[in-house]
Amino acid sequence: MSSARARTNRVLGLAPVWLLIGGLLLAPLLLVVAIAFTEQGAYGGVDWTFSGAAFVSLLYNVDFDGTASVEWSYVQIFLTSAALAGATTAICLLVGFPVAYFISRQPPSRRSVLMLLVAIPFWTDLLVRIYAWMIILGNDGLIASALSALGAGWLYRNILFTPKAILLGMTYNYLPLMILPLCSSLEKLDGRLIEAAADLYASRWSRMKDVIIPLTAPGIAAGCMLVFIPAVGDFVTPTIIGGGKTLLFGNLVALQFGSAHNWPFGAAIAVVMLLLIGCAGTLPLLIRRRLGRVA
Amino acid sequence: MAASEVKRSGGAPAHDSAPRRPVRALLAPDRYRGFGVWFGFVVVFLYAPIVTLVVYSFNDGDMIGMWRGVSLRWYQATLADGSVRKALANTLIVALFATLIAVSVATAAAVAIVRGAGRFERLSERLIALPLAIPEIVLAIATLMLFALIDLGSSITTLVLAHAVFCTPFAFMPIRTALAQISVSMEEAARDLYCTPAECFRLVTLPLLAPGIVAGAMLSLVMSIDDFITSYILSGPGNTTVPVYIFSMIRQGVTPQINALSSLLFGLSLLLVAGFWFSSRRS
């Protein structure tokens, strides 16, 4: 078969992907950016004139007489979302790294079973997983019932419908997304390098700090991004076990396409969210460059 | 556990006469004390809520925290509910068609990407991974706006298309892995024996790829069935899926019926994951 023919076949093979993901992901995303720079129509739709009003209203509250005052509530929601997603990522890394390391040092047959064990909760419906925590945490939930049955009901502190519950729920949801990429990165790590470090009198801590962690940095970065991206857009966890009391980015976006019906504003928030993720995505690169300079 | 962590190879074998060294000194250089125990804790943490949910779905009582004996009454009540059955049917239809699209698209792309290594192929591979790099809520509202702009109302079809987008990367990964393991020499041998490219694909590549395709289909089905965010944003009144239905139930308060429906959904996911596991082992 001629190479030109093979080339045509390859392009034909890739055409459906470009049609599907290009048409239903790239095109809509461009549309979001476009709509973010329009004005809200009189009947809730979009008025196609160029305007930065949606972005301005993220920061300023413009009155009818034209005076503007700084609107802190959206900044606060932005910071809360970023902080919760960042904290979730950090906790998942701390909790998940030892787990992934342990799995990666097992014989291959056992390793795949253990990875499946970690993956199953991830393959369960997000809503079901969060709802399960409601049964455990609530005022008449399992922990409360168990403690009061033991006569220690006073020990119980209800964290349901607080930011703590959101953090717990998000950590629970996204932990497998941290462990699995860490595992695949760690299992490629050559054990002889660790032995060599040990032979050269590196302490166990130094082996971890100077050998294992730098060599698995790409896996760590991948895991952090995989956790951070859904965490920053999560609106299910804050709605259900946050009781809807803590508004996050995702809630704000969903609101604009529901009851608030302000498309340009919703699109502007979505654009800010994508920018935040873009910034967070370059962070691992910067850190690696710093580390590379040190080493 | 401790025994497996003890270094067995290397160095002189320990003799009985040798003074007993503390276990700590025998730990292999790549092992860390306590990581195994930590793993156990984390697995308990991951499974405790799900196990609780499933156990309490068999609870006879009306209260969540009180155990009143085993019964299937909540399952009966759930499955007798017409709107639940409708939601279940919608979920399965959307999942099947989205998977059909995702698997076809992913298979064609995988063949092109694995067998060619040009710039366009690398770019396409990035494109396939893109749905994973964007928060689902952003993608969902973007799709909603596009559909609204071209006057496509909410229907099962729009839901299928939206699901197909985020199912594609999950279908692609196992298919790509399976294809990379198939030696090119098999296809070359077929061509030497005067197979046309189409025959070669149908008679050689596809049968060898089948376990990978099944694995990809299973992952895609799970992703679609368990999806909440996209379905919530895009589904209209007539085409609710099970997760969206559960959400509306939760907002009305915690009832044992939610446990039963959630457990059914979990069982379905588990079945599909098992299917993925066995088909990916075969490939």
For B60-81, the three-class secondary structure string (H helix, E strand, C coil) is CCCCCCCCCCECCHHHHHHHHC
Considering only alpha carbons, which residue of chain B is nearest residue A251? B137
> Based on the domain organization, do B83 and B157 belong to the same domain?
yes
Location of structure tokens 């580390």: A291
Using one digit for the tens of pLDDT, what is the confidence trace for A77-92? 889 999 999 999 999 9
CB contact under 8 A, A105 and B113: no
- What's the pLDDT at B4? 46
Buried b (16+ CB within 10 A) or exposed e, A55-80: bebbeeeeeeeeeeeeeeebeebbeb
Name the domain boundary from B24, B52, B71: B71
Sign of CA dihedral A54, A60, A63, A66: negative
SS3 A68: strand
**Alpha-carbon torsion (A112, A115, A121, A124), positive or negative:** negative
- CA A101 – CA A216 distance, rounded (Å): 10
Is B56 within 8 Å of A133 (Cβ atoms)? no
- Contact call for B50 and A101, based on CB within 8 A: no
Look up the domain containing B58 and give its range: 2-71
Report the alpha-carbon distance of residue B73 to residue B51 in Å, rounded.
19
- pLDDT: which is higher, A200 or B8: A200
**Is the predicted pLDDT of residue B113 greater than 50, yes or no?**
yes
Q: Is the pLDDT of residue A295 over 70?
A: no
Mean pLDDT calculated for residue range B244-262: 86
Give the CATH number, domain containing residue B98.
1.10.3720.10
Quick count: other Cβ atoms within 10 Å of Cβ A181? 23
Q: Are residues B84 and B67 in the same domain?
A: no
Instruction: Please choose, from the candidates B204, B207, B215, B203, the residue with its C-alpha nearest in 3D space to the C-alpha of residue B176.
Output: B215
Q: Which of B30, B47, B71 is the last residue of a domain?
A: B71
Q: Which of A140, A207, A240 is opposite residue B250, by nearest beta carbon?
A: A240
CB within 8 A of A76, min separation 6: which ones?
none
Question: Shortest Cα distance from B213 to chain A (angstroms)?
Answer: 16
Q: Report chain B residues whose CB lies below 8 A from the CB of A114.
A: 39
**Predicted pLDDT of residue A280:** 83
Name the A residues in 116-155 with CB < 8 Å from any B CB.
116-121, 123-129, 131-136, 138, 140-142, 144-145
Q: Percentage of chain B surpassing pLDDT 70?
A: 89
Q: How far apart are CA B217 and CA B279, in angstroms?
A: 10
Q: How far apart are the first and last CA of chain B?
A: 31
Q: H or E stretch including A70?
A: strand A68-70
To which H or E segment does residue A69 belong?
strand A68-70
Say yes or no: B148 and B13 in one domain: no
B147/B235 same-domain check? yes
**H-helix or E-strand containing A194?**
helix A191-199
| Contact residues on chain A for B112, CB-CB shorter than 8 A | 9-14
Q: Which of B71, B95, B123 is the last residue of a domain?
A: B71
Q: How confident is the model over B142-154, as pLDDT tens digits?
A: 999 899 888 877 7
The burial of A47, by beta-carbon neighbours within 10 Å (0-12 exposed, 13-18 middle, 19 or more buried), is given as middle
CB-based contact A172 B53, cutoff 8 Å: no
CB A121 within 8 A of CB A176: yes
- Chain A residues whose beta carbon lies within 8 Å of the beta carbon of residue B50: 121, 124, 128-129, 132
Same domain, yes or no, for B104 and B31?
no
User: CA-to-CA distance for B189 and B183, rounded, in angstroms?
Assistant: 10
Q: CA–CA separation, B242 vs B225, rounded Å?
A: 8
Q: Answer with the residue of higher pLDDT: A188 or A42.
A: A188
49-88 in A: which are within 8 Å (CB) of B?
A: none
Q: Which of B221, B242, B205 is nearest to B101 (CA)?
A: B221
Given a cut of 60, whether residue B12 has pLDDT beyond it is no
| pLDDT, tens only, B71-100 | 888 888 888 888 899 999 999 999 999 999
- Ranges of each domain in chain A: 1-36, 52-294
Structural tokens at position A103: 């799995």
Mean pLDDT value of segment B90-113? 94
Distance CA B143, CA B149 (A): 10
Q: Are residues B115 and B218 in the same domain?
A: yes
If asked whether residues B57 and B149 sit together in one domain, one would say no
**Rounded distance, CA B251 to CA B249, Å?**
5
Helix axes A3-17, B82-115, angle to 10 degrees: 160
Determine the longest span between alpha carbons in chain B, in angstroms.
85
Indicate the residue of B35, B52, B127 with minimum beta-carbon distance to A18.
Answer: B127
Q: What distance in Å separates residue A65's CA from the closest CA in chain B?
A: 32
Measured distance CA(B250)–CA(B188) in Å, rounded: 57
- For residues B41 and B90, state if they share a domain: no
CA atoms of A139 and A192, how far apart (whole Å): 52
* CA angle A171–A176–A178, rounded 5-degree value: 80
The ipTM estimated for the assembled molecules is 0.86
Q: Of chain A residues 215-234, which have a CB less than 8 A from chain B? A: 225-226, 229-230, 232-233
Q: E strands of chain A, at which residues?
A: 39-40, 46-47, 60-62, 68-70
* Residue A86 contacts residue B20 (beta carbons within 8 Å): no
pLDDT at A12: 84
Q: For residue B11, what pLDDT is reported?
A: 44
Q: What angle do CA A51, A55, A61 make, to 5 degrees?
A: 105
* Residue pairs between chains A and B whose CB atoms are closer than 8 Å: 262
Q: Does A284 touch chain B (CB under 8 A)?
A: no
Q: In whole numbers, what is the pLDDT of chain A averaged over residues? A: 85
- Residue A265 touches partner B, C-beta closer than 8 Å: no
Q: Provide the number of structural domains found in chain B.
A: 2
- Pairwise CB contact (< 8 Å): B39 & A98: yes
Please write the tens of the pLDDT for every residue from A231-267. Answer: 998 888 988 888 777 788 888 888 887 766 788 888 9
- Reported as a single tens digit per residue, the pLDDT across B20-35 is 555 555 678 788 888 9
With bands split at pLDDT 50, 70 and 90, how would you rate the model's confidence at B250?
Answer: confident
- At A135, list the tokens: 């049964």
CATH fold of A52-294 reads MetI-like fold (1.10.3720)
User: Is residue B140 very low, low, confident or very high in pLDDT (cuts 50, 70, 90)?
Assistant: very high
A11, A18, A20: best mutation site toward chain B, by most B Cβ within 10 Å? A20
Phi and psi at residue B27, to the nearest 5°: -60, 130
pLDDT of residue A279: 87
Interchain contact A36–B (C-beta under 8 A) = no
Output the CA–CA distances (angstroms, integers) from residue A212 to A197, A217, A294, B39, in the order listed: 10, 9, 16, 18
Same domain membership, residue B15 and residue B154: no
CB contact under 8 A, B243 and A172: no
Model pLDDT, residue A195 = 87
Residues B110 and B40 in one domain: no
The total of other beta-carbon atoms located within 10 Å of residue B40's CB is 13
CA of B112 vs chain A CAs: smallest distance (Å): 5
Which whole number is the average pLDDT over A118-122? Answer: 90
| One domain, residues B146 and B237 | yes
A162 in helix, strand or coil? coil
3-state secondary structure of A284: helix
Q: Tell me which of A157 and A255 has the higher pLDDT.
A: A255
Residues B123 and B228 in one domain: yes
Band the pLDDT of A42: cuts 50, 70, 90: low
Contact yes or no for B137 and A233 at CB 8 A: yes
**How far is residue B276's CA from residue B283's CA, in Å, rounded to a whole number?**
11
A204 neighbourhood in chain B, CB within 8 Å: 29, 32
